[in-house]
Amino acid sequence: MRAVTRLGFLGGIYSNYLALSAALEVLERRGVDEIHALGDFGAFGPHPDRTVEILRARGLPAIAGNYETNLSSGGADCGCGYADPRDNEFAQISYDYTREHTAAEHVAWMATLPLERRLEIDGRTILLVHGSPRRQNEFLWESTSPDGFLEAMLAEYRADVLVCTHTGLHWTRRLPSGRLVVNCGALGRPANDGATHVWCARLSVGEHVEAELVPVVYDHERLAREMREERLPDEFVQTIRTGWWTTCLEELPARERRSGRH
The ranges assigned to domains in the chain are 5-255
Query: How wide is the angle at C-alpha 71 spanned by C-alphas 97 and 44, nearest 5°?
Result: 35
The residue ranking higher by pLDDT, 253 or 197, is: 197
As its CATH architecture, domain 5-255 has 4-Layer Sandwich (3.60)
Query: How wide is the angle at C-alpha 21 spanned by C-alphas 243 and 55, nearest 5°?
Result: 115
**What is the 8-class DSSP label of residue 84?**
S
* In the predicted structure, residue 246 carries a pLDDT above the cut 70: yes
Contact status, residue 21 vs residue 13, Cβ threshold 8 Å: no
Q: In whole angstroms, what is the distance from residue 103 CA to residue 99 CA?
A: 8
pLDDT number for residue 1? 43
In this predicted model, what pLDDT tens digit does every residue of 55-101 receive, in sequence order? 999 999 999 999 999 999 999 999 999 989 999 999 999 999 999 99
